[in-house]
Protein backbone atom coordinates (compact mmCIF):
# COMPACT_ATOMS: atom_id res chain seq x y z
CA UNK A 1 0.00 0.00 0.00
CA UNK A 2 1.38 3.39 -0.98
CA UNK A 3 1.00 6.25 1.45
CA UNK A 4 1.61 9.78 0.17
CA UNK A 5 4.32 11.74 1.97
CA UNK A 6 4.70 15.53 1.99
CA UNK A 7 7.72 17.42 3.23
CA UNK A 8 8.29 21.13 3.64
CA UNK A 9 10.22 23.36 6.02
CA UNK A 10 8.78 24.32 9.39
CA UNK A 11 8.33 28.01 8.66
CA UNK A 12 6.43 27.42 5.43
CA UNK A 13 4.30 24.86 7.26
CA UNK A 14 3.65 27.40 10.00
CA UNK A 15 2.59 29.96 7.36
CA UNK A 16 0.19 27.48 5.78
CA UNK A 17 -1.28 26.54 9.17
CA UNK A 18 -1.79 30.19 10.08
CA UNK A 19 -3.33 30.90 6.65
CA UNK A 20 -5.83 28.10 7.00
CA UNK A 21 -6.59 28.09 10.73
CA UNK A 22 -4.94 31.10 12.41
CA UNK A 23 -4.39 34.83 12.07
CA UNK A 24 -3.33 34.47 8.44
CA UNK A 25 -6.96 33.89 7.45
CA UNK A 26 -7.40 37.67 7.58
CA UNK A 27 -4.61 38.47 5.10
CA UNK A 28 -3.76 37.70 1.48
CA UNK A 29 -0.19 39.00 1.77
CA UNK A 30 1.70 38.06 4.91
CA UNK A 31 4.79 36.37 6.22
CA UNK A 32 4.90 33.87 9.05
CA UNK A 33 8.26 33.28 10.63
CA UNK A 34 9.96 31.13 13.24
CA UNK A 35 12.70 32.46 15.52
CA UNK A 36 14.05 29.47 17.40
CA UNK A 37 17.05 27.19 16.81
CA UNK A 38 17.07 28.71 13.33
CA UNK A 39 15.17 31.55 11.69
CA UNK A 40 12.88 30.83 8.76
CA UNK A 41 9.84 32.23 7.05
CA UNK A 42 6.94 31.38 4.83
CA UNK A 43 5.36 33.89 2.46
CA UNK A 44 1.79 34.26 1.31
CA UNK A 45 1.45 36.57 -1.67
CA UNK A 46 -1.90 37.11 -3.35
CA UNK A 47 -3.33 34.34 -1.17
CA UNK A 48 -0.81 31.72 -2.28
CA UNK A 49 2.09 30.14 -0.40
CA UNK A 50 5.29 30.88 -2.32
CA UNK A 51 7.56 27.91 -2.91
CA UNK A 52 10.32 29.43 -5.04
CA UNK A 53 12.52 27.62 -7.54
CA UNK A 54 13.72 24.96 -5.08
CA UNK A 55 11.04 25.23 -2.40
CA UNK A 56 13.05 27.70 -0.31
CA UNK A 57 11.10 30.95 -0.68
CA UNK A 58 10.91 32.92 2.54
CA UNK A 59 14.35 32.21 4.02
CA UNK A 60 14.37 35.45 5.99
CA UNK A 61 17.00 34.02 8.33
CA UNK A 62 19.60 34.82 5.70
CA UNK A 63 18.73 38.47 5.25
CA UNK A 64 21.75 40.52 6.35
CA UNK A 65 20.98 42.62 9.45
CA UNK A 66 24.55 43.36 10.61
CA UNK A 67 26.92 43.75 7.63
CA UNK A 68 30.02 42.91 9.69
CA UNK A 69 28.21 40.65 12.12
CA UNK A 70 28.71 37.08 13.23
CA UNK A 71 29.55 34.39 10.72
CA UNK A 72 26.50 32.35 9.75
CA UNK A 73 26.32 28.62 9.04
CA UNK A 74 25.59 29.58 5.43
CA UNK A 75 29.04 31.19 5.14
CA UNK A 76 27.90 34.83 5.06
CA UNK A 77 28.24 37.35 7.86
CA UNK A 78 25.50 39.17 9.73
CA UNK A 79 22.52 37.03 8.71
CA UNK A 80 19.47 37.32 10.96
CA UNK A 81 19.95 33.68 11.97
CA UNK A 82 23.55 34.39 13.04
CA UNK A 83 22.38 37.33 15.15
CA UNK A 84 19.00 36.37 16.66
CA UNK A 85 18.54 32.56 16.69
CA UNK A 86 18.73 30.61 19.95
CA UNK A 87 22.26 29.32 19.26
CA UNK A 88 23.43 32.81 18.25
CA UNK A 89 22.07 34.30 21.47
CA UNK A 90 23.63 31.49 23.53
CA UNK A 91 26.97 32.21 21.86
CA UNK A 92 26.66 35.94 22.56
CA UNK A 93 25.73 35.63 26.24
CA UNK A 94 27.51 32.38 27.14
CA UNK A 95 24.33 30.84 28.55
CA UNK A 96 20.99 29.40 27.45
CA UNK A 97 18.74 31.92 25.65
CA UNK A 98 16.18 31.73 28.48
CA UNK A 99 18.78 33.51 30.63
CA UNK A 100 19.09 36.47 28.25
CA UNK A 101 18.62 39.83 29.93
CA UNK A 102 16.23 42.54 28.76
CA UNK A 103 18.91 44.22 26.62
CA UNK A 104 19.69 40.99 24.74
CA UNK A 105 15.99 40.20 24.27
CA UNK A 106 15.42 43.67 22.82
CA UNK A 107 18.50 43.33 20.58
CA UNK A 108 17.07 40.13 19.10
CA UNK A 109 13.81 41.98 18.45
CA UNK A 110 15.66 44.82 16.71
CA UNK A 111 17.45 42.35 14.44
CA UNK A 112 14.12 40.71 13.54
CA UNK A 113 12.53 44.12 12.91
CA UNK A 114 15.33 45.01 10.48
CA UNK A 115 14.92 41.84 8.46
CA UNK A 116 11.14 42.06 8.47
CA UNK A 117 11.27 45.66 7.24
CA UNK A 118 13.23 44.55 4.19
CA UNK A 119 10.65 41.85 3.44
CA UNK A 120 7.69 44.19 3.98
CA UNK A 121 9.18 46.89 1.76
CA UNK A 122 10.07 44.35 -0.93
CA UNK A 123 6.87 42.32 -1.00
CA UNK A 124 4.10 44.77 0.02
CA UNK A 125 3.04 42.59 2.96
CA UNK A 126 0.07 43.38 5.20
CA UNK A 127 1.16 41.55 8.34
CA UNK A 128 3.93 39.44 9.85
CA UNK A 129 3.17 36.58 12.24
CA UNK A 130 5.95 35.25 14.44
CA UNK A 131 6.44 32.10 16.47
CA UNK A 132 9.24 29.92 17.79
CA UNK A 133 10.84 29.49 21.19
CA UNK A 134 12.91 32.69 21.06
CA UNK A 135 10.13 34.95 19.77
CA UNK A 136 7.43 33.56 22.04
CA UNK A 137 9.77 33.06 25.00
CA UNK A 138 11.17 36.60 24.89
CA UNK A 139 7.65 38.03 24.92
CA UNK A 140 6.75 41.72 24.94
CA UNK A 141 10.35 42.98 25.22
CA UNK A 142 11.24 41.22 21.97
CA UNK A 143 8.00 42.03 20.14
CA UNK A 144 7.97 45.70 21.14
CA UNK A 145 11.58 46.15 19.99
CA UNK A 146 10.84 44.38 16.71
CA UNK A 147 7.82 46.57 16.02
CA UNK A 148 9.68 49.79 16.88
CA UNK A 149 12.46 48.85 14.47
CA UNK A 150 9.94 47.86 11.80
CA UNK A 151 8.19 51.22 12.17
CA UNK A 152 11.52 53.09 11.88
CA UNK A 153 12.41 51.29 8.65
CA UNK A 154 9.03 51.10 6.89
CA UNK A 155 8.36 54.64 5.68
CA UNK A 156 6.82 53.93 2.28
CA UNK A 157 3.11 54.64 2.05
CA UNK A 158 2.28 50.95 1.53
CA UNK A 159 4.56 49.66 4.26
CA UNK A 160 3.82 52.12 7.07
CA UNK A 161 1.76 50.63 9.85
CA UNK A 162 2.55 46.95 9.18
CA UNK A 163 2.93 45.07 12.46
CA UNK A 164 4.59 41.93 13.76
CA UNK A 165 2.26 39.84 15.95
CA UNK A 166 2.57 36.46 17.61
CA UNK A 167 1.12 33.52 15.70
CA UNK A 168 -2.48 32.86 16.67
CA UNK A 169 -1.97 29.11 16.91
CA UNK A 170 0.81 29.52 19.51
CA UNK A 171 3.04 26.55 20.20
CA UNK A 172 0.72 24.29 18.19
CA UNK A 173 1.35 26.28 14.98
CA UNK A 174 4.11 24.01 13.59
CA UNK A 175 2.01 20.85 14.13
CA UNK A 176 -1.10 22.39 12.61
CA UNK A 177 1.11 23.57 9.75
CA UNK A 178 2.50 20.06 9.22
CA UNK A 179 -1.04 18.72 8.91
CA UNK A 180 -1.85 21.53 6.45
CA UNK A 181 1.19 20.58 4.34
CA UNK A 182 -0.12 17.03 4.16
CA UNK A 183 -3.61 18.13 3.16
CA UNK A 184 -2.21 20.55 0.56
CA UNK A 185 -0.07 17.82 -1.03
CA UNK A 186 -3.11 15.69 -1.84
CA UNK A 187 -5.29 18.61 -2.91
CA UNK A 188 -7.53 18.66 0.15
CA UNK A 189 -8.57 21.94 1.70
CA UNK A 190 -9.92 21.09 5.19
CA UNK A 191 -11.62 24.47 5.36
CA UNK A 192 -14.04 23.53 2.57
CA UNK A 193 -17.56 22.53 3.53
What are the pLDDT digits (tens) for 146-173? 999 999 999 999 999 999 999 999 888 8
Contact partners, residue 13, CB within 8 Å, separation at least 6: 42, 174, 177, 178, 180, 181
Q: What is the pLDDT of residues 84-130, one digit of tens each?
A: 999 999 999 999 999 999 999 999 999 999 999 999 999 999 999 99
pLDDT digits (tens, 9 = 90+) for 3-25: 778 888 889 999 999 999 999 99
User: DSSP assignment, residue 72?
Assistant: P
State residue 116's pLDDT score.
98
Percent of the chain with pLDDT over 90: 81
Give the per-residue pLDDT at 191: 66
Structural contact between residues 125 and 156, judged by C-beta atoms closer than 8 angstroms: no
pTM of the model: 0.92
**What is the reported pLDDT for 70?**
97
Domain ranges for the chain: 10-181
Residues 29-72 have pLDDT tens digits of 999 999 999 999 999 999 999 999 998 999 999 999 999 999 99
pLDDT at 192: 62
CATH class of 10-181: alpha beta
Give dist(CA 8, CA 182) in Å, integer: 9
Amino acid sequence: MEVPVAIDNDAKALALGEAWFGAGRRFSNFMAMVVSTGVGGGLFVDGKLLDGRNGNAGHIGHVIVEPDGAKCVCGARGCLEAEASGPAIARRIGAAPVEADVKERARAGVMVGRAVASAVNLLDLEQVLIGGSVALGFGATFLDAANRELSERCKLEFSRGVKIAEVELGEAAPLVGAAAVGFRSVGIDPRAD
